[in-house]
């Protein structure tokens, strides 16, 4: 091997090593703009040209704009649009093939407006398409091979390799933009939903309060044989009030507006008050309801109204899904660092496939059960967020056809109550 051949081989190996080095460094970059500027610097260096640039289709899809340029050309060329017709870059993008022009003066595709805007004289151009999975995203081009030399097959191979790196970067950037747009749209939809819930809850509460007030008054004034119909109005209005309150409570937590007004409260008293509110339903279904809250009063730091909401929804779930003549047992006990409250029933139970989802908003266990028992699937999700607001946790165990056991823990340490690291809303 003569010295000239050996020198060419050595130079070839050095260029490949440099290309691999640049590829590794480019792969470590996460931000698009510095990535592309590093890439055009590498293209200039490895092909021995005066400068390089990257172009992409504008939003209208009818012209090309410069996406990456050397710093000294950024200002004069940032507003220049390159047409798809009568330009080298346009031809490359439309045909998806490289173009190698050793003398632009002899090629009508050269778009001279770029030279006029930049004050730069173009002698030669080599351009390759930036393609990702069959879609042409842009064009990478180098201009003016130094020392009046001609572009080589090796130059073209190197430029194509860099274009593949650019393709991945551009595609990732497009995906990130779409993801951000989706996030923005979801955020806006959540805001609109929250505004609607807040307005609807406020507007519904006023007429609903009037309905309940007048219905309660009229119940005492009408004939005894008409009170059953009035009781239906009162019960239906109360059910509507529960739905409105559940939706409003969930929305307040999501918007970060829920807070815990913590002070020492008696779990035994909360249990007793909740049970009092279910006496009519328990009696109507002939359910056996037992409690065991121990001899000593169990105290926690928390918001009694929110703990009552959590327990009330659990008891309501047990009453709803326990068949007439069934049994419900409510217990409260102290364990190290926590108070444990459980609601146990021998009702219809929960299918295994549904058990992991029962605390999700609006989740319904079996459509035929929903039609039979009603409900929107909000009660248990509200219980979950109320417990988590206190730094506690809630879970369920169930055997289909035999019953369920819903349990929550509340911390007894006042430093824990009301300060969970995060409230998770399914």
DSSP 31: S
Cα 66 from Cα 81, distance rounded (Å): 8
Q: Which CATH number fits domain 3-181: 3.40.50.880, 1.10.10.410, 3.30.2010.10, 3.30.450.40?
A: 3.30.450.40
- CA dist., res. 14 & res. 83, Å (int): 38
Residue found under tokens 């069934």: 326
Asked if residue 397 lies in contact with residue 356, where contact means CB atoms within 8 angstroms, the answer is no
263-411 fold = Heat Shock Protein 90 (3.30.565)
Task: Return the half-sphere exposure (C-beta side, CA atoms, 13 A cut-off) of residue 40.
Answer: 25
Written as six digits, the tokens of 320 are 């709803």
What the block records as the tokens of 365 is 């266990």
Given a contact cutoff of 8 angstroms between Cβ atoms, the answer to whether 132 and 103 are in contact is no
First to last CA, the chain: 71
Domain limits, the chain = 3-181, 190-254, 263-411
DSSP 146: G
Q: What pTM was estimated for this model as a whole?
A: 0.52
Sign of the dihedral defined by the CA atoms of residues 283, 284, 286, 289, in that order: negative
Residue 312: partners with Cβ closer than 8 Å, 6 or more residues away = 274, 277
Q: How far apart are CA 51 and CA 119, in angstroms?
A: 14
Tell me if 385 sits within 8 A of 392, measured CB to CB.
Answer: no
How would you classify the pairing of strands 263-266 and 299-302? antiparallel
- CB-CB contact of 89 with 53 (8 Å): no
Give, to the nearest 10 degrees, the angle between helix 267-276 and helix 304-320: 50
Give average pLDDT by consecutive 10-residue segment, the chain, 426 residues: 62 71 64 87 90 90 90 88 93 94 91 91 94 92 90 91 89 88 86 74 79 84 82 79 71 59 85 90 92 88 87 92 94 93 94 89 59 62 87 93 94 57 33
Planar angle of CA 321, 346, 348, nearest 5 degrees: 40
Q: What is the helix (H) or strand (E) element at residue 344, kind and residue range? A: strand 338-345
Which structure tokens are listed for 161? Answer: 């390799």
Question: Token digits for 139?
Answer: 């064009």
Q: Mention every residue, 6+ apart, whose C-beta is less than 8 A from residue 4.
A: none
Closest listed residue to residue 381, CA positions, set 425, 350, 411: 425
Tokens of 279: 């006496």
Cβ-based burial of 113 (10 A; exposed 0-12, middle 13-18, buried ≥19): middle
Q: Cα–Cα distance between 300 and 263 in angstroms, integer?
A: 8
**φ/ψ of residue 292, rounded to 5:** -145, 100
């Amino acid at each position: 091997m003569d010295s000239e051949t050996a020198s060419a081989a050595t130079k070839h190996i050095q260029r490949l090593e440099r290309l691999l080095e640049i590829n590794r460094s480019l792969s470590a970059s996460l931000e698009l703009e510095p990535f592309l500027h590093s890439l055009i610097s590498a293209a200039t260096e490895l092909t021995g040209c005066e400068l390089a640039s990257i172009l992409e289709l504008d939003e209208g899809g009818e012209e090309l704009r410069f996406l990456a340029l050397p710093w000294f050309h950024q200002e004069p060329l940032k507003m220049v649009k390159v047409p798809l017709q009568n330009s080298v870059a346009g031809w490359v993008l439309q045909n998806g093939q490289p173009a190698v022009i050793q003398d632009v003066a002899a090629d009508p595709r050269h778009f001279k407006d770029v030279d006029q805007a930049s004050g730069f004289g173009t002698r030669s151009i080599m351009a390759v398409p930036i393609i990702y999975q069959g879609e042409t995203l842009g064009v990478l081009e180098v201009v003016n091979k130094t020392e009046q030399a001609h572009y080589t097959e090796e130059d073209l191979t190197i430029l194509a390799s860099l274009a593949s790196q650019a393709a991945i970067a551009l595609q990732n950037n497009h995906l990130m933009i779409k993801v951000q747009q989706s996030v923005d749209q979801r955020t806006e939809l959540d805001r609109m939903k929250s505004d609607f819930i807040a307005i609807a809850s406020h507007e519904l509460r006023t007429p609903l309060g009037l309905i309940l007030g007048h219905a309660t008054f009229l119940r005492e004034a009408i004939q005894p044989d008409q009170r059953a119909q009035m009781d239906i109005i009162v019960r239906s209005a109360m059910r509507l009030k529960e739905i409105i309150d559940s939706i409003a409570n969930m929305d307040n937590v999501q918007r970060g507006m829920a807070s815990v007004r913590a002070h020492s409260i008696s779990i035994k008293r909360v249990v007793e008050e909740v049970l009092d509110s279910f006496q009519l339903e328990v009696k109507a279904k002939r359910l056996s309801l037992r409690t065991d809250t121990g001899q000593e009063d169990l105290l926690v730091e928390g918001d009694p109204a929110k703990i009552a909401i959590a327990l009330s929804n659990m008891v309501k779930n047990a009453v709803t899904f326990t068949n007439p003549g069934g049994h419900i047992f409510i217990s409260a006990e102290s364990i190290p660092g926590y108070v444990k409250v459980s609601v146990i029933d021998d009702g219809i139970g929960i299918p295994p496939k549904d058990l992991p989802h029962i605390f999700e908003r609006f989740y319904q266990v079996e459509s035929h059960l929903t039609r039979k028992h009603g409900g929107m699937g909000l009660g248990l999700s509200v219980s979950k967020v109320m417990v988590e607001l206190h730094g506690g946790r809630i879970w369920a165990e169930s055997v289909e056809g035999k019953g369920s056991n819903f349990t929550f823990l509340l911390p007894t340490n006042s430093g824990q109550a009301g300060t969970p690291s995060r409230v998770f809303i399914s």
